Amino acid sequence: MSNYKESIDFIKSKFYSKDFIPLHAPHFGGNEKKYLLETIDTTFVSSVGAFVDTFEDKMCKITNTQKAVAVVNGTAGIQVALKLVGVQANDEVITQALTFVATVNAIIYNSANPIFLDVDLDTMGLSPKAVEDFLNEYGDLREDACYNKKTGQKIAACVPMHTFGFPVHLDELIEVCAKWKIPVIEDAAESLGSYYKGKPTGSIGNLGVFSFNGNKIVTSGGGGAIVTNNLELGIKGKYLTTTAKKPHPYEFFHDEIGYNFRMPNLNAALACAQLEQLDKFLENKRELAGFYKTFFDSKGINFRTEAPNTKANYWLMCVELENKTERDIFLKYTNENNVMTRPIWQLMFRLPMYENCQKDAQKNALFLEERIVNIPSSFRI
C-alpha cells in the first residue's frame, strides 16, 4: 500500500513536468495585463473605478444574484455579512470546525462566539442533521429569534462552508435554519462556479461570500465579494463597506460606523480578466478530476467527487486515505518527491483561541481530519 510512486508519476505526467508541482498556482491567460495597464493609464488604481462596477455586475451574472459587493478580501466579506443579518456582540453563530480559520475569525470580529457542529461525510460541509440535533437539544425558539438554552445567548446566524468547492446539503440545512429563525450565510470562498441543484453556491442562503485570494479558482490578488438576492441587504452591504457615507456631491457625512473594506480598482481589473476565463478554468479542472478519478480508482484510493444534485468547481481536489498512518506516508512521500500535497485543516477547536468553544461530538469531522489530503489542482496549460 505504501508505494505511491505511481501516484507521483501520474500527477507529474498530467502537469507535463518532472519539476516541483504546486498545489494550486494562478493562471493568467487572458486580459490581465491589458486591464491592469488600463488602471494605471487612467490613474484609477484605488477605491473607485470602472472595474469595480464591472466586477460587481459580472458577479451578479455568474451567481445569478441581485447584488454583489466587491470587498477587500473574503474574511472581511464574511465579517460584514454577519453584521448584515444582525449578529451582535455575545451572539452565537453555528459553523463547522472543519474549515479554514477565516470563517471563525470573521465571527469573532463581530464579538460573537462560534458553535462548532459536525460535517457530513459526503460533502465535508456543515451537516443539516447535526444542526437539527443541536437545535432540538439546545434551541429555544422565541418570537424574535432562536436562543441557546445552555448559555441564554441568541443564535444569530449559521455559516456553512462549501469545502474545496463541494456544495453542502443546502436545502435541508436552510429548512432547519428557517424553522429556527436562523439566517444562513454561505462561506462560498472556495466554491465560485459550484452549483447546488442547478443554483450557484453563494446565491441560496441569505448572503454568500466569495474570496479572490491568490490560491482560489479566480484571483484578484486579494479580494472578496458578498452576493445576495436581498437587494436591501446588498445595498446596506455596499454602504457599510464603503465607510457608510451619505451620498452628497462634496460634503462628508457618515451616519454609522462603516468600514473601509473596498476592493481597489487595480484588484478588480485583475478579477475581471480572470472571471472572463472562469468557464475555461472549470472545464479544465473537471477534466483533471476525471483523470484523477480513473487513476485513483484503479489504485483503490478514494478520490473525492461531487455529491448527487451538485456540481463542484473542483477548486482543490483531494483523496481520502485509509487511515492517519497511510495519510502520513502519502504526505511524506509526495512532498519529498516534489509533488505538493497538504492535509486538510486541523479542526478549529484545536487552535488555542478556539479550544473552549461549544461543539458536538464531531464524529465525521474527526474522521475526515485524519484522512483527507489535497493534491495538485492547478489549471493545466
Ligand X SMILES: *Cc1c(COP(=O)(O)O)cnc(C)c1O
Tell me the three cell numbers of residue 274: 480572470
Residues sharing a CB contact under 8 Å with residue 354, sequence separation 6 or more, in sequence order: 104, 114, 116, 348
The helix (run of H) or strand (run of E) holding residue 359 is: strand 358-359
Residues 217-236 as x/- pattern, contact with ligand X by CB under 6 A? -------x------------
In whole angstroms, what is the distance from residue 368 CA to residue 74 CA? 24
Beta carbon nearer to ligand X, 132 or 190: 190
Q: Which residues within the stretch 96-115 sit at the binding site for ligand X (CB under 6 A)?
A: 99-100, 102-103
Beta carbon nearer to ligand X, 188 or 321: 188
Beta carbon nearer to ligand X, 78 or 135: 78
Residues 7-46 as x/- pattern, contact with ligand X by CB under 6 A? ----------------------------------------
Please give the torsion angle defined by the CA atoms of residues 49, 55, 57 and 62, in that order, rounded to the nearest 10 degrees: 180
Residues sharing a CB contact under 8 Å with residue 323, sequence separation 6 or more, in sequence order: 370, 371
User: Site for ligand X (CB under 6 A): how many residues?
Assistant: 14
Question: Is residue 216 flagged as an active site residue?
Answer: yes
Q: Which of 12, 58, 67, 216 is catalytic?
A: 216
Residues 183-202 as x/- pattern, contact with ligand X by CB under 6 A? ----x-xx------------
Q: How far is the CB of 57 from ligand X (least distance, A)?
A: 20
Q: How far is the CB of 51 from ligand X (least distance, A)?
A: 18
Where residue 313 falls (left for φ over 0; alpha for ψ -120 to 50; beta otherwise) is alpha
Residue 76 near residue 211, CB atoms below 8 Å? no
Beta-ladder partners of 311: 195
Q: Which residues within the stretch 54-93 sit at the binding site for ligand X (CB under 6 A)?
A: 73-75
| 206 binds ligand X, rule: CB under 6 A | no
Q: Which residues within the stretch 152-171 sit at the binding site for ligand X (CB under 6 A)?
A: 161
Q: How far is the CB of 278 from ligand X (least distance, A)?
A: 17
Nearest to 263 by CA among 100, 53, 110: 53
DSSP string, 89-155: TT-EEEEESSS-HHHHHHHHHTT-EEEEE-B-TTTSSB-HHHHHHHHHHHEEE-SS-EEETTT--EE
Beta carbon nearer to ligand X, 99 or 265: 99
Residues with active-site annotation: 216
User: Which residues form the interface with ligand X (CB under 6 A)?
Assistant: 73-75, 99-100, 102-103, 161, 187, 189-190, 211, 213, 224
